Every structure is written in C-alpha cells, then in structure tokens.
Chains A and B, each alone.
Chain A
Amino acid sequence: MTSTTPVTSAGAPEVASAARAVRRGGPISPGRRRQQRRENVAAYGFLVPWLLGFFGLTVGPMAISLYLSFTRFNLFGDPRWIGFDNFVRMFTDDPNYVQSVTITLVYVLVGTPIKLAAALGIAMLLNYRDAGSGFFRSALYAPSLIGASVSVAIVWRAMFATDGPVDSGLSIFGIQLGGWVGNVDLVVPMLILLAVWQFGAPMVIFLAGLKQVPAELYEAAEVDGAGSWRRFRSVTLPMLSPVIFFNLLLETINAFQIFASAFIISNGTGGPGGQTNYYTVYLYERAFANQQLGYASAMAWVLLVVVAIIAFILFRTSRGWVYYGGDSR
C-alpha cells in the first residue's frame, strides 16, 4: 500500500523516480526493497535462537571435540596435544574397545533386521483389515513411546532376573536358563529383545507405506495366479522398498547409539563381562568415569565416521534395490 501512495498522490519527481525504479528492473520500488530488507532482518531475528543453538550447542562442541580427540584431557588440567595417539591406542592397545565395537556390531546387525521384520509383519497384519486397527495401532506403538525410558529398562531388568517372570515362565516349559541380566551369553539377546519390542515407530511408517500400494496391483497379480507369498515378494516388497530403505537407515543409525537401556540395565558398569558395554556406554565411561575426555572424543569421531560410511554404503546400494514408483530407473 505505502509504495503506491506517493505515486498517486504526489507530483512529477515521484513519478520520475518510480519510472527509474521500473527501468532498473521491474516492479521493485525502493520502499518495497526496504521492506524486503526489513523482512530479512526479521527472519534472521527469528532465526537467532536456532542459530545460537546450532553454533553454540552443535557446531561449537563438535569443533572442540575434534580438537580434544587429538589431546589428552582429564577435565581438570589443560588438554595436552598428543597427535594421533588416541586413535592408535583405540585400535592397537585397548581390548575393551575392540570388544565394545564387536558387541555393538552384533547388536546392530542382528537387532535391526529382526526389529524391521517384526515391524513389517505387524504392519501387514494391521493392514489386513480395518476393524479395530486404530486400537491395535496405538497399543502396539505404545512400547516405542515408553521404550527408551528409564522405567522400562528397570522393569526389563527385573523381568529377566533370576526367578523373575521370564525365568519362571520358561521353566514351566522345562527351559532352565536362570537370570539373563547377569548371564554373559544372554544379556545381549535380552537387549535385542528390548529393542525389537519397540518396533512401533517403523511399524507406523510401514503401515503408511502399505496403504499407498495400489490395490489394482494386487488384483492384477491375483488374476495372473500369484499366491500370497508371490504377491508379497513381487508387489509389496518392491512398492515398499523406499519405506524399507528409510526405516533401515534410521534404525541402523539409532541402533548404533544405544545407550539408556544398556546403561540402566548394567547400572552403568557395562557388565556382565563387558557385554552391555556398547559403544556409547563405553564412550561415556571413558569420558566421565575415567576422565579421558580426549580418548572419548576420538571414539565419538570414529563412530561418526563409521556411521557416515555405513549410511553412504546404504545409499549406494539402494540404487540397486529401491524402486521409486513412476521413475524409470
């Protein structure tokens, strides 16, 4: 409004300047430009809290952590530059590190596929018919909401203790395993079960994906005589592959970061026998129990690089198996 007011209500000079503005490149008048600048300022103003957070809480600490990874730092004194010593020690002189990496990989490589399979299976069951699906969807999603919480880990610990519900339940069937919590061989399966039980988030995404698969594809397949397995293999999986890829990527990265459940179930010790000493638990222990901040920072960077590489590999291979509907790849 204001930019047009001078033109209509004033004499020749304003008209000339307006004409210049038009010559200079279209409809942007100085007033409008000023307003745009003002809007930009306002936009940045509103962005300030986020930018502060981004630089103060993400970029800054990352830069410091990168620096610390080349130092020896015990929280109290000043960091001492030691070059690549931390990284060398990690791979050559720290058996706990190797063990921690091993159990983390087992957890990711075994737990993630099982979790995704469970999520897909349940999603397909929910997709099968509509009656009551809303209720079941919420009920099955609930564990994901509370699954990462402290209380569930504590409940889990109690459930799998000697003479706990799981132990007693199994012994009805003649399976005498004793407690899982203190058992070196069973504590990893126990944590994988806890992760699998929280299949709600990928399940909901799968369910959304399943609803998108056009019914006529199934009808056509059926007419061609495809059985249910065939329909699943040749229609559901390809149509769902972008969603599977998305879930796989997300869940893999998440699995690498397992912390709370392992930390609580082991009381922060990483026990029994280091079997809950997952990467992030070990990292925390190094940083805050042993005050080796430099070493812990180096560990964090290795984790970041490894997760980035895995994500990259997943993206590369996805070209071969992910089908985006309508595109000719």
Chain B
Amino acid sequence: MPDIHSTRRGRSTRRGLTAASLLITGALALSGCAGGGSGAGGEDGEEVTLNLAFWGNDVRADLYDQALAVFTEENPNITVNTSFLAFPEFWEKRQIEATSGGLPDVMQFDYSYMRQYSENGLLLDLEPYLGEQIATDGYSDQILDIGVVDDTTYGIATSTNAWGLFQNPVLLEQIGVEPYEGGTSWEDYTDWVTEASEAAAAAGQPLFGGTDWTYRIQNFELQLRADGRNLFTDDGEPDFDEDDLREFWEQGESLRDGASAIPGQRLEEIYPLSGFDAAQTTTELTWDNFGAGYLGNLGEGYTELLLTAPPTSEEGSQDLYLKPSMLHTIAETTDHPEESALLVDFLVNSPEAAEIFGTNRGLPASETQLEGLGLEGLDAQIQDYEESIEDRLGDAPPVPVVGYGAIEEEFRTTGLDLGLGVITVDEAVDRFFSEMDVILDN
C-alpha cells in the first residue's frame, strides 16, 4: 500500500505543478499584454516610448528624424518610434488600428478625418493639456478652432496651405517654353499644357506639360467655388450633380490622348511618385506645401520651383481657400498622454522643429513658429504665394463629411481610369456617384 500512496501523492504533486505552470504561463501572457501599461506618467524621468505615425515620403521622414533628435535630446527619457506611409495607405493602416485599439500615440492627422475619428472616441481630448504641456500663445482662436469638433479640442494644426500650381523651371528651359502665367481660364491652361508637351516632343524630350488635371477633386472644387458652391453643403449633401461632374471630366478629354499630357500608363508606373516628382511633367496642381517634397524627389540640380496661381473659371471669384494642411492628434488609448502632449507641443511650437521642417508641412500655423522662422528660398516663395492670392481666398468649406477621404480617393482612381481609357466619362460619372452614395451612407 505505501508505494501506491506515494505514487498517488507524486501524481497529485505533478498535477499541482502542471496547474501552477499553467497559471504562471497565463499570468505571464496577461502581464505581457498589459506590459505597455507600466511606466505611465514619466514626469519623474521614467523611460517612455511613444509611437508617432505620419504620411509623407523619404524627404519628410528625414525631417522628422532630425526634429526628433532634438526632441529626445531635450527629453532623454522619451524614445519616439516613427512609421510613415503614403497618404492612402496611411489611412488604411489607421482604420485597422482604430478598430483594434492600437492607434499610435501621436499622429499627423488630416482635417478630412477629424470628424470620423473624434465622433468615434478615438482621439484624446486635448483640453487638459492646452496651456500646460501644449503652449497655445502662438495660436489665434481661429486656428485653434480648426482642431475643435463639437466643442472639444482634438487636434492642433501644424500649418496651413492653399491650392497652387508648381512649375519646374529647369524642364521649362530644356524645352524652351515660357512658364504658365497663372490665373487664366482652365482652357488656357489646357492649351498651355498641350503646347508644352508638343514642344517637348519636338525637342525629343520624354516630357509633358502637365497631368490631366481633372483627376483631382480639388480642381473640381475650385470650379464649383467659382460658381459660389462647395463640394458639400453644410448638411453634408453633395452640392453638385451628374451633369456638373460630366462637364468637368469632359474638360480633360483632350489631355487624355496620350500625347498632350503625361499618359495614364506612365503615372501608373511611377506611382506613388507623381509626374512632377519624377521630372516627367513641367507643371502640377496641388497643395502649396508639396514644394519641399518635390525638391527632395527631384534631387540635385534643383533649388527652386515656380509657384503660380491655379487657373480659374471665374475671374474675381474667391475659389481658393486656406486649409489646415495637417494637425497633430493623440490617440485616446495612449498610455502616456502627458509625454504625447509634450511631443505635440514640440512639433507644433518649437522654433527648432519649425526650422527643420520649413514649409514641408505647410506654412506654420503658430505665429511664434512662423515669426521665428527666417523663411528663405522655396519657403519664402510659398509665403509670398499665399499673400499674392489673398484676393482669391474665400471662406473655408464646411468641415469635411465623414468619408470625405474615401470620396477623394475614389475621385482620383476614377480619374486615373479615365486617363487609361478603360472607362468613358459617362461610366465614370455613374461609378463615382454610386460609390459616393455608398460611402455617404456607410
């Protein structure tokens, strides 16, 4: 009998051990999940790691690296991990993180997604940190209001930008064409692009005068605004119909012949670069803060670009406007709200960051940053440009509807398909409207 007894005890000991080891494993797993939770409140110099995500390219990534080097020198207890993607992919990634609760602590943020993210409780209320970690003295109320949704501040604008037309002086000289003068009718600009492409072909250069500008929703918006409308009304209803859009896309017809402007096939190949980035087009309509990125991608041999007013369909109309080019927000789920706020403050307020970024993010929104910044070269050009178009600047459109980002992207891809000749304008209009209905109703 004793041997049985001892065997049993042995077994129960073993069972106990198994249970204990299971418990320990479980506990370890759980604590592993919660690992990020420890170390909150690093005021006392505790080591803290923050994640920062932004959209952009290598040029901007390099600027962030430089700026963060200064930040971590000032705050040696904070480590910042960065990640960046191109704009559409950036938002895809955020959507997935938003649902899994894994949003980065600090995000570069776009105006068009503010409503969606704040309404769903994904962004941290910044109110408690304003005037504490985040200095607000450099900001006018108007600029601070940009980050406010339903009376709560969720974001701080880094900078503002306006729609503009970049021209590549080096390429223009190569093909012997005078720059586009700016501010004329859209037909004039289309003719100019066609002539520049012809001149390039005659000079034996694989260049084009521009891109079919009808693939950008902002150009459509400009034409609507010249007509006293916006893309969407205050109630979030589209302020245009099928005929408006058909008429708009038809204006690009002549540029889609494969010779008058850069062919769609080329654009597909060089994506995510644009024709202008790749030095294959001489002009591009886009936000005016893209200049620094262009210079970086164009590389050596480029120190300046021309920045001109876009065409207009109604002279004297206020079709342009200033918008926040980007904001900084903090995820509601962050374990380190205070450190995150410190980082946001550094990015939007510090003169060092301003100096490093120049106008890569747009013209600094904070007066202190702007004043401390001796703008020169391209940056000064952008400032001058925004002053020069003052007469054309109207009220900003209403806060973008939920899903605006997806609508903008749908517009772009539909426009690209038009350029490839795989759909007709009528099909494009049908497709866009049916997609927009789905997105707005989503």
A96 and B431 form a contact (CB under 8 A): yes
CB distance from B398 to the nearest CB of A (A): 21
B434 close to A (CB within 8 Å): yes
A189 vs B372: C-alpha distance in the bound complex, in angstroms?
56
A181 vs B3: C-alpha distance in the bound complex, in angstroms?
77
CB distance from B60 to the nearest CB of A (A): 18
Secondary structure class of chain B's binding surface, majority of residues: helix
What is the total of A-B residue contacts with beta carbons within 8 Å? 91
A183 vs B406: C-alpha distance in the bound complex, in angstroms?
25
B422 and chain A: residue at smallest CB distance:
A273
Select one of B92, B409, B442 contacting A74, CB under 8 A: B442
* In the complex, chain A residues whose CB is within 8 Å of the CB of B37: none
CB distance from A117 to the nearest CB of B (A): 31
A162 and B409 form a contact (CB under 8 A): no
Select one of B120, B264, B431, B438 contacting A272, CB under 8 A: B264
Which residues A1-60 have CB closer than 8 A to chain B? 2, 5-6, 45
Select one of B88, B120, B266 contacting A289, CB under 8 A: B88
A289 vs B267: C-alpha distance in the bound complex, in angstroms?
21
A288 close to B (CB within 8 Å): yes
B148 close to A (CB within 8 Å): no
B269 and A181 form a contact (CB under 8 A): yes
Which residues B1-54 have CB closer than 8 A to chain A? 3-4, 7, 18
B265 close to A (CB within 8 Å): yes
B271 and A273 form a contact (CB under 8 A): no
* In the complex, chain A residues whose CB is within 8 Å of the CB of B313: none
Q: With A162-B266, A178-B265, A182-B265 in contact, is A291–B89 under 8 Å at CB?
A: no
A274 and B442 form a contact (CB under 8 A): no
A291 and B413 form a contact (CB under 8 A): no
B438 and chain A: residue at smallest CB distance:
A292
B99 close to A (CB within 8 Å): yes
B140 close to A (CB within 8 Å): no
CB distance from A256 to the nearest CB of B (A): 23
A77 vs B116: C-alpha distance in the bound complex, in angstroms?
10
B95 close to A (CB within 8 Å): yes
CB distance from A91 to the nearest CB of B (A): 14
A113 close to B (CB within 8 Å): no
CB distance from B113 to the nearest CB of A (A): 11
B269 and A162 form a contact (CB under 8 A): yes
B272 close to A (CB within 8 Å): yes
B92 and A77 form a contact (CB under 8 A): no
CB distance from A216 to the nearest CB of B (A): 56
A76 close to B (CB within 8 Å): yes
Q: With A184-B420, A272-B420, A273-B422 in contact, is A291–B269 under 8 Å at CB?
A: no
* In the complex, chain B residues whose CB is within 8 Å of the CB of A288: 92, 95-96
* In the complex, chain A residues whose CB is within 8 Å of the CB of B99: 75-76
Which residues A172-193 have CB closer than 8 A to chain B? 178-179, 181-184
* In the complex, chain A residues whose CB is within 8 Å of the CB of B423: 273
A144 close to B (CB within 8 Å): no
A158 vs B4: C-alpha distance in the bound complex, in angstroms?
73
CB distance from B152 to the nearest CB of A (A): 17
* Interface-facing stretch out of A204-212, A238-246, A263-271, A305-313: A263-271
Q: With A75-B95, A77-B120, A271-B271 in contact, is A182–B422 under 8 Å at CB?
A: no
B417 and A273 form a contact (CB under 8 A): yes
* In the complex, chain A residues whose CB is within 8 Å of the CB of B390: none
* In the complex, chain B residues whose CB is within 8 Å of the CB of A219: none
A290 close to B (CB within 8 Å): yes
Q: Which of A183, A288, A290 has the most CB of B within 10 A?
A: A290
CB distance from A259 to the nearest CB of B (A): 14
B439 and A183 form a contact (CB under 8 A): no
A2 and B266 form a contact (CB under 8 A): no
A290 and B439 form a contact (CB under 8 A): yes
* In the complex, chain A residues whose CB is within 8 Å of the CB of B272: 267
B427 close to A (CB within 8 Å): yes
B92 and A289 form a contact (CB under 8 A): yes
CB distance from A147 to the nearest CB of B (A): 22
A161 close to B (CB within 8 Å): yes
Interface string of A258-301 (1 = CB under 8 A from B): 00000000011101111000000000000011111000000000
A222 close to B (CB within 8 Å): no
A75 vs B406: C-alpha distance in the bound complex, in angstroms?
14
Q: With A272-B420, A274-B422, A289-B409 in contact, is A179–B269 under 8 Å at CB?
A: yes
CB distance from B91 to the nearest CB of A (A): 8
A268 and B89 form a contact (CB under 8 A): yes
A115 close to B (CB within 8 Å): no
* In the complex, chain A residues whose CB is within 8 Å of the CB of B416: 271-272
B410 and chain A: residue at smallest CB distance:
A290
A181 vs B266: C-alpha distance in the bound complex, in angstroms?
9
B315 close to A (CB within 8 Å): no
A94 vs B435: C-alpha distance in the bound complex, in angstroms?
9
* In the complex, chain B residues whose CB is within 8 Å of the CB of A76: 98-99, 116, 119-120
* In the complex, chain A residues whose CB is within 8 Å of the CB of B3: 5
CB distance from A87 to the nearest CB of B (A): 15
A186 and chain B: residue at smallest CB distance:
B265
A95 close to B (CB within 8 Å): yes
A268 vs B86: C-alpha distance in the bound complex, in angstroms?
11
A77 vs B92: C-alpha distance in the bound complex, in angstroms?
17
A288 vs B442: C-alpha distance in the bound complex, in angstroms?
13
A273 vs B62: C-alpha distance in the bound complex, in angstroms?
33
A161 and chain B: residue at smallest CB distance:
B269
Select one of B95, B267, B439 contacting A182, CB under 8 A: B267
A160 and chain B: residue at smallest CB distance:
B269
CB distance from A83 to the nearest CB of B (A): 15
A179 and B95 form a contact (CB under 8 A): no
B420 and A93 form a contact (CB under 8 A): no
A179 vs B268: C-alpha distance in the bound complex, in angstroms?
10
B15 and chain A: residue at smallest CB distance:
A38
B99 and chain A: residue at smallest CB distance:
A75
Q: With A5-B3, A75-B98, A273-B422 in contact, is A182–B268 under 8 Å at CB?
A: yes
A292 and B442 form a contact (CB under 8 A): yes
* In the complex, chain B residues whose CB is within 8 Å of the CB of A5: 3-4
* In the complex, chain B residues whose CB is within 8 Å of the CB of A274: 417, 422
Which residues B200-230 have CB closer than 8 A to chain A? none
Counting from the closest, the 9 A-B pairs by CB-CB distance are A182-B268, A273-B422, A182-B265, A182-B269, A272-B268, A273-B420, A76-B120, A74-B442, A75-B99
Q: List 5 A-B contacts (CB under 8 A).
A: A76-B119, A271-B420, A273-B421, A274-B417, A291-B403
Q: Taking A271-B416, A272-B268 as given, write out 5 further A-B residue pairs in contact, using a Cβ cutoff of 8 Å, ordered by the A residue number.
A: A181-B268, A182-B264, A267-B272, A274-B422, A289-B92
